[in-house]
Structure 1
Amino acid sequence: MCGIAGRLAATPLSPEREGRALALMANRGPDGRGAFHAAAPGGNLTLLHTRLSIVDLDARSDQPFTKDGLTLVYNGEIYNYPELRAELRAAGRSFRTEGDTEVVLEAFRVWGPDALDRFEGMFALALFDAQSGRLTLARDRFGEKPLYWMRDGEGGFLFASEIKVLAALAGRKPSVDRDQLRRYLVNGYKALLSERRTFYTDVADFPAASLAILDRPEDPAPRRYWMLEARPDEGMTAEQALEGARERVHRAIARRLRADVPIAVRLSGGIDSNVIAGVARTVHDHPITCFSIVEDDPRYDETAAIRATLARLDLPNVRIPIPRGNFLERLDDLIGYFDGPPLTISYYLHWLVSEAIHEAGFKVALGGTGADELFTGYYDHYLFWLASMKDAPGFEDRVAGWRETYGRFVRNPELQNPHAFIEAPDRREHIFLGRERFSTFLTEPFDEPHREVPYPGSPIRRRMLNEIFHETVPVMLHDDDLASMRWSVENRAPYLDRDLAEFLFTVPDRHLIQKHLPKILLREAGRGLVDDSILDNPRKQGINAPVTSFVDFTRPDVRERLLEEGPLFDIVNRDRFAELLDHEVTLNSDSKFLFSLVAAKLFLDRHAAWTP
């Protein structure tokens, strides 16, 4: 895990800007830094890199990595690098390192862009070919590793792992996209990355599963090299689905245990992280240490489940109490690193866990990102599944099963009718819940209905693909990366594995929910490894907390800080904000909205004072 950046322009990059960019990348790579300069057909090329050493800790694997006319800067991990190295050696290539960086470079030399199809991992990379003068940019299938680009006002093309680094290379701060902020406040996080927007009008997010080749300073034209598609094998039995999922889950976790440093697991009371811990400890006998946030609110307290796992697996655990003081100061620091507001309050908690992981001396942490989207973990998934099964025998028994299990815990009023998506297949009001009311807080109305990409397949598969590529997974990966890299911790997501994802999308819909429990394939993949009380719990759990757990909004100093004049009140009605601070917040949607208002306030104040 590292930081990368680069510039292609007619004029050379000044030493001052280069030094500033490298300094800002230090958290992403505290173990080494380097720069590469070359004259390219399109002008002057600079490639920058800072290293967080995870595999082959020797300096021989430092970057920029140059060999026989190719130069690579690369952020991420290719988990199947030993197998690829064996293939490349059989093809006549030799190696001077033991890590994955040289494997990536040689894979491009032998297979060209087709090498991307062979990589299993997470990455953002830039590869310069001195012979052709071409610069190749690419990003992993799910977009685990970030890559942003912008123009510098002098005709140059810039790219980097973080927006603050782009600003340093350009020598100017980017402009805030106020429509994106309105979208954040009114529609929430699921609307933010559907079209790969950022909070800045002049910064673009390079798309996942894409590559672009440049030979001059121009806007890249990324082309997609992979897409997940629903291809159900209707002849697959339930037993085949369970066994196929179990095998691939175990293999995906094994791949992400490859490292030359100790590994941590972010353990909550939910299924996702518990399966990771159980498989790592029991199946692969890999030493891990668990880190868990502790919340007193009974709605979010997961202590009992965490204790059950620790007792069963005999694992060390670091418990992290939620600090009650200095919330605004901590959040302001987080926003400064994120270059924008965190997209949900969960990533304030992720930030706290990553800080504890770093302080304990760990560089790698595993988490459960993507499991809900791949295994049907959300409350609306059950209803979309019921809509897919409406004509199958036993439908009313399935509805009764929903009422006895998942249906008991649904708080969203739009999802309390088991026939919701049978009666109105295109209804999506539950996704932007409260948007009409939240819009009334703005100085100008904002009305942007939910839009869904019409992927082929059943209703539930269409919903899951939208979440994976447009709504939830991109958002989680964005904040996963920043919350961990602030503390120089590499975050790995075992469930975002190509083989696992492609298999799951061949499973017929009827096998996705069994015994009236969603996520059944993941539950059973952990059977015998995870306490049954966790695997059989119908209630969805995960790291979360209401914003009122962190700060007392009735305190005069808090109110003064949040209501002082600033650019937020060009967008938000100050009096309405004050009224919200005066009222007790009980609804989950209102808590999320209040957090977004607070984060937007701190972000805009910080941007106004930002000097690149």
Structure 2
Amino acid sequence: MYFAAMCCIAGIISPHRALVTHQLGQRMAHRLQHRGPDDEGMWQSDDEHTLLVHRRLSIIDISEAGHQPMQRNEYTIVYNGELYNYVELRTTLQALGQVFTTQSDTEVIMAAVEVWGITDALQQFDGMFAFAIHHQPTQTVWIARDRYGEKPLYYHVRYGLQNRAFESMVFASEIKALWEVGAPKNINGTRVLNYLTLGMVQNPLQPTQTFYNDILQLPPGNFITVQPALGKLQMRRWYKPELQRQQAWEQYGNLTVNEAITVYQQLLQTSVQRRLRSDVAVGMSVSGGIDSAAIAATALQQSNTQHFHFFTAGFPGFEKDETVFAQQVAAHYPNRVTHHIVTPTANDLATQWQRFMTHQEMPVQSASVFTQYCIYQAAKAAGVIVLLDGQGADEVLGGYERFVQWYLVQLWRTDKKAYWSERKQMMANGFVANAGIAQIAAGYFPEKAAAHLQKKAINQQYGTAYIDIDFSWKYRNPDTLEKPVIHAVEDILWYSTHIMGLQALLQYADRNSMAFGSEIRLPYLMHNLVNFSFAQPSHYKFKDGYTKWLLRKAVEPHLPQGITWRKGKIGYEPPQQQWLLQPAMKAFIHEARHKLVQAKMLHKSVLQAPINAANAHAANNFDWRYLCVAAML
């Protein structure tokens, strides 16, 4: 029996016992019921300074064995997520003398912390998680989050006027639970300005920042140590990817290309095998691209009998519809797959818009995020609540066009003959449109290139039409538009994986899945696989006119050639432009504009401007952004 801990957590911590009440905890739990509809639990420490709250989604079992908060010896935990290597860790801990009373991964976490301490225990975990664990003898609480940010954790701290100790700290898996117990809902003007003008959904310089003032997020790979009775907290980074990359390079940095393919195959198989551990039907989001197809093929190789459900978004008649490619993947494994084609429409967007944005809580980049929402909704309707998805491969292995451009710039500096050959092939295969003088110059002067891009963003923000001038002057902050200095393509891959890019996608996936009480598992984000990938030279990732070459070679024997070596890339794109021109969505846009004018974010002249319906990945996606910000107000 496999025990899952998908759910949500919350808590209240204060040196003032009167502020730590079950009534407040119940309000937080009720607000998060959609994430954990099957069970609820609460626990308060003996000194009454700490209250831990849990809502449970019972993936497998609803017996008392999986109930939380869970206690073991001197520890009490609330935990949201999956520890994929809990079987292996359990065996290791048993060899060290630990005795277990349940089969759950939750108990393994507590035992690991007991044996190794919080920092070393976290290093052992392969999983997605956010948890809070209370240690009775020291009256300490540790609140931790996984390496890449697959599971969310938000908190609000209220400080007294005359001392450094906090009055209270509340934390939860979603922001709405913090609002429920009095955290302020004050929108961060700078974040909104950067989003409205440039589409930015993250602030790379302040990883704790959200779209709301005084609401913070625990950055991925960090944990907070809290001393409840003293009102003190300290955040520490437990995951140090630079060190992990160096260690992986020392182990794997000199492999031949065939050796690298073999190791990548082995690591991907291990990751998928661990993420298939479930006693319920498992589904997969299969877009038709290589990332999801590779996960599907690897999963199907794990067993000759297991049946899987594929879920694909289809847009009949739309030029970027990928249904035919997803069908090729399914057809490659006859009688092993039930293929569900989901066809989101403009009417779906209109009727579900408010619910969708209520779950997201913050602006999203485009209607592609709503497409994912519809996929998870269809999976739940089909009785499939565990899905494997392909997020992470593009960032780690270089799937986007801008990464190809940087690779070509790198080749120009190191091997001009290889540059011309690779450039020709990449352009012929549709992975890059051009790599001209400007890109090459950026490679020679990376600091100047970063400064130029920052200045370009500043000018673009200044020149964006319809922004209220007072709003712009009040909240513009050029420092938040700082661009990374890129010396090599690996720098931009690193930045997109660990700093800005991937985290937004993980946030969308968590909200969309938990809106329907579903669980999303991401094999490409097993840390050993990520670190191995970063230890490999860039010409194993970009090769022979293809991106993600290493992945393609690793799964080549198990997929149709037309999928493995498919040319070009479609960025999971729905017909957003068509959707926004439908009457219901046009009405929403007009309403959103009025709200933003009333909020003094937009100038009233926008009310006479025609609808600007743009494609999902267009730079001028302004009316979509108006919709998202208006939904926050």
- TM-score after normalising by structure 1: 0.90
Compared with structure 1, are the counterparts of its residues 417 and 368 closer, same or farther at alpha carbon in structure 2 (3 Å cutoff)? farther
1:276-295 matched pairs, under 5 angstroms: 276-285=295-304, 286-295=306-315
Residue 115 of structure 1 aligns with an amino acid whose one-letter code is: A
- Give 1:256's aligned residue: 275
Moved more, 198-207 or 18-27: 18-27
Q: Identify which of 183, 187, 210 aligns with 1:176.
A: 187
The alpha-carbon deviation at position 309 of structure 1 amounts to 0.8
User: Alpha-carbon deviations, 1:31-82, whole Å to 9, x = none?
Assistant: 2110001134xx6210000111235553211100012221010110000111
1:3 positional shift = 0.4
Q: Which residue in 1 is equivalent to 2:44?
A: 37
Equivalent residues of 2:366, 2:616 under 8 A apart: no
AA aligned opposite 1:78: L
- Per the alignment, residue 259 of structure 2 pairs with 240
For the residue of structure 2 that corresponds to 1:110, the secondary structure is helix
Q: What is the Cα deviation at residue 567 of structure 1?
A: 6.0
For 1:100-147, what per-residue CA distance to the aligned partner results, in whole angstroms no more than 9, with x for missing partners?
011111111111111111111111011001111010111111111101
Alpha-carbon separation, structure 1, partners of 2:253 and 2:587: 61
Determine the C-alpha separation between the residues in 1 that align with 2:83 and 2:595. Answer: 48
1:579 aligns with 2:609: yes
Shift in alpha-carbon separation, 1:29–1:91, aligned structure 2, 3 A: same
Is it true that 1:18 corresponds to 2:20 in the alignment?
A: no
- Secondary structure of the residue aligned to 1:327 is helix
Q: Distance in 2 between matches of 1:116 and 1:368?
A: 24
**1:585–1:104 Cα change, 3 Å:** closer
Counterparts in 2 of 1:240 and 1:577: CA distance versus 1, 3 Å: farther
1:451 alignment partner, one of 482, 485, 507: 482
Separation (CA, whole Å) in 2 of partners of 1:268 and 1:584: 24
Residue number among 156, 159, 170 corresponding to 1:158 in the alignment: 170
How has the CA–CA distance of structure 1 residues 586 and 203 changed in structure 2, closer, same or farther, with 3 Å as cutoff? Answer: closer
Give the letter aligned to residue 213 of structure 1.
T
| Shift in Å, 1:453 | 4.8
What SS class does the counterpart of residue 563 from structure 2 fall into? helix
Partner of 1:595: 624
2:35 is matched by which residue type in structure 1? R
Which of 583-592 and 468-477 deviates more? Answer: 583-592
Q: Contact 2:198–2:619 at 8 Å: present in 1 too?
A: no
Task: Check if 1:422 corresponds to 2:443.
Answer: yes
- d(CA) in 1 for partners of 2:371, 2:607: 24
- Give structure 2 stretches of 5+ with no counterpart: 1-5, 161-166
CA displacement at 1:194 relative to structure 2: 5.2
Instruction: Please state how far the C-alpha of 1:466 moved relative to its aligned partner.
Output: 1.0
The answer (yes or no) to whether the contact 1:65–1:71 under 8 Å persists in 2 is yes
Alpha carbons of 1:69 and 1:578: their partners in 2 closer, same or farther (altered >3 Å)? farther
Pair 1:467 & 2:496 matched = yes
Provide the rounded CA distance (Å) in 2 between the counterparts of 1:558 and 1:160. 31
Distance 1:512 1:560, change over 3 A: closer
Larger mean CA deviation between 238-247 and 26-35 belongs to 238-247
Q: Distance in 2 between matches of 1:595 and 1:71?
A: 44
Residue 575 (structure 1) shift: 2.1
Matches within 5 A, 1:69-468: 69-113=74-118, 114-152=120-158, 155-168=167-180, 170-189=181-200, 191-192=202-203, 195-196=206-207, 197-216=209-228, 218=231, 220-229=233-242, 230-231=245-246, 232=249, 235-285=254-304, 286-296=306-316, 298-314=318-334, 315-325=337-347, 327-390=349-412, 391-392=414-415, 394-407=418-431, 410=433, 419=440, 421-422=442-443, 425-426=446-447, 427=449, 435-436=460-461, 439-444=464-469, 445=472, 446=476, 448=478, 450-453=481-484, 459-468=488-497
AA aligned to 2:321 is D
TM-score under structure 2 normalisation? 0.88
How much does 1:193 deviate? Answer: 5.4
Instruction: Name which of structure 1's ranges 414-423 and 29-38 shifts more when overlaid on structure 2.
Output: 414-423
Check whether the contact 1:293–1:320 (CA below 8 A) recurs between aligned residues. Answer: yes
Provide the C-alpha distance between the structure 2 equivalents of 1:453 and 1:394, rounded to a whole number of angstroms: 26
With over 3 angstroms needed to count, the CA separation of the structure-2 counterparts of 1:594 and 1:258, relative to structure 1, is same
Deviation of 1:25 after TM superposition, in Å, equals 1.6
| Cα distance in 1 for residues equivalent to 2:22 and 2:443 | 62
Greater mean deviation of Cα atoms: 428-437 or 98-107: 428-437
Higher helix share: 2
Quote the offset at 1:13 in angstroms. 3.1
| Equivalence for 2:509 | 480
SS of structure 2 residue aligned to 1:322? coil
1:161-216 CA-to-partner distances (Å, cap 9, x unmatched) read 01011122x33442111211111112223544552221110111101111221113
Q: What is residue 164 of structure 2 aligned with on the other side?
A: none
The answer to whether the 8 A contact 1:547-1:591 is kept is: no
SS in 1 for 2:536: coil
- Indicate conservation of the 8 Å contact 1:546/1:592, yes or no: no
2:53 counterpart residue number: 48
Q: Secondary structure at the match of 2:213?
A: coil
Alignment partner, residue 163 of structure 2 = none
Aligned-CA RMSD value: 2.6
8 Å Cα contact 1:143/1:208 also seen in 2: yes
Could you tell me how far 1:344 is from its partner in structure 2? Answer: 3.2
Residue of structure 2 equivalent to 1:610: none
Q: 1:218 to 1:529 in 2, by over 3 A?
A: farther
1:508 lines up with 2:537 in the alignment? yes
1:541 lines up with 2:570 in the alignment: yes
- Offset of residue 364 of structure 1: 1.1
Deviation at 1:12, TM superposition (A): 4.0
* Structure showing greater relative contact order (alpha-carbon pairs closer than 8 Å, 6 or more residues apart): 1
Inter-partner Cα distance in structure 2 for 1:415 and 1:50? 54
> Would the aligned equivalents of 1:55 and 1:259 in 2 still touch at CA under 8 Å?
yes
Q: Which amino acid aligns with 2:65?
A: R
> What residue identity is the alignment partner of 1:419?
I
**Comparing 152-161 and 202-211, the one that deviates more:** 152-161
Q: How far did 1:505 drift?
A: 1.3
CA distance in 2 between counterparts of 1:550 and 1:536 reads 32
1:561 aligns with 2:608: no
